[in-house]
Amino acid sequence: MKGFLNKVKGSVAGDKKEEMKAEKAPDTTPRADVVLPKGVAKRRGSMAKQQRAQVVLKELPLLVETPMQKREALFKQKLQLCQTIFNFDDVDSDIRGKEIKRETLVELAEYVNTPAGQKIFTEALMPDIVQMVKANLFRTLPPQTEDFDPEEDEPAMEPGWPHLQVVYEFFLRFIVSSEVNGKVAKKYVDLPFISNWIDLFDTEDPRERDYVKTVLHRMYGKFMSYRSYIRKAISQVFFRYIYETGKHNGIGELLEILGSIINGFAIPLKKEHLQFLEKALIPLHKPRSVALYHPQLSYCISQYVEKDPETICTILRGLIRFWPWNSSSKQVLFLNELEEIMELCRGDQINQIQNDLFKLLAACIASEHFQVAERALYFWNSEHLCINVLSQARAPVFLPLVFGPLSKNAQGHWNQTVEGLAQSVLKMYMEMDINLYDKCSREHGEKNRTKDSERSAAEDKWAKLEAAAIANGLSYS
């Protein structure tokens, strides 16, 4: 924190020359450059008062130079000053006013960064603290353009970040302070405040999302009675993203918070937590931009499995249901997740879904994309899977399903790695149980001969139809 504040102060000091030039030059800056709500004429008068407060601030002493008995009143005046909102879209407007506000914010953040300074977090000042945070942070976020692609396009950075960053640092110090009683602070950091805070996750600026994530995690720990509400609010964000908009910038950050929250769930898991897994987390595999947050999602899923192994079947069915057949890169991600989950499976759990699971594995081995086939074949490189899932005891169930794709790849694949892996897997089962291997080979040969005969019969029928059409004078093309 000290390093951050020193950096900000250094930036302020570096701008002194510009400030001196601005003071010497005649002030031609219009005073109406503060952002005003449309259609609310009365707010213009209040903003004018805030502008005059900037002039008064120049004559105010620093907090550290003020007697202790007067600091709380001065602190309140500075908080009220920092509620002034400037238009950062116009870089040249009211440069002096923006610097005054930033210097004041840095002074407040530095002051409360010490144990002695945090004693000023009294209930009398909490309304002004929360109001200052609301005024600066709770705003309408600019909408994304229709052609915005988060995987390729650069995010739009917040122009007002020099002020927002210090506000976030200040409020973080407020939340984590031992001087702030959670029961008292709840009067001002209420449920609408929490709801508005979660809305900030949709900002495009990754720097802001990181602060929003950190502070929300701290609020989750400080306000225990808000925990259920926070989880429900996050699930609502997921529902809108999955089933309505398909766009949201902060899904990854929300999942990072949930990973820590899930890790703290008590065992056995409550019905509410199981419903959250089934209705909110698993369907997050469905959206097209799942690759952006898949590592965080996979971590949350694995946390559920470690907490309650009985959730494995529900998770695997969900993975199979939302399998991204049209995207090879996403299939590789899903295969990584599938392997992690299968390594935590018990034998009786595999029995419940083994047919669907091994059919999926066979389809991946048969994939036209070499990376999907290669990743599926690497399952047999896992010692745990070979012992517990792909074992000799279970081979009569899955080997007939995967033998065809394995045999096809082993007999000749343009990618040498895929061909070599397939040959190694077949060799392993041939040495393990030659009778089963021969049986699967015969059945596979019979299936191929049956398919060939069916194809030949179909071709003969089409040839007869073509000949009959020509005989009746019908054109055939």
pTM confidence score: 0.80
Q: What is the pLDDT of residue 24?
A: 40
Question: Consecutive sets of 10 residues in the chain, 477 residues long: mean pLDDT of each?
Answer: 50 42 39 34 32 43 81 90 85 81 91 88 93 94 74 81 94 94 93 96 94 96 94 95 91 95 90 94 94 95 91 93 94 95 82 89 94 95 85 86 92 92 92 89 86 88 87 73
Q: What is the pLDDT of residue 144?
A: 72
Q: What is the pLDDT of residue 193?
A: 96
CB 255 within 8 A of CB 300: yes
Q: What is the pLDDT of residue 20?
A: 40
Question: d(Cα 284, Cα 305) in Å, to the nearest integer?
Answer: 17
CB 163 within 8 A of CB 149: no
Q: What angle in degrees, to the nearest 10, is found between the helix axes of 370-377 and 395-411?
A: 140
Q: What is the pLDDT of residue 450?
A: 86
Give me the residue label for tokens 């036209």.
368
> How far from the centroid of its chain's Cα atoms is residue 326's Cα?
22
Q: Which helix (H) or strand (E) covers residue 314, if one does?
A: helix 312-321
Question: d(Cα 129, Cα 189) in Å, to the nearest integer?
Answer: 10
CB 398 within 8 A of CB 385: no
CB 436 within 8 A of CB 399: yes
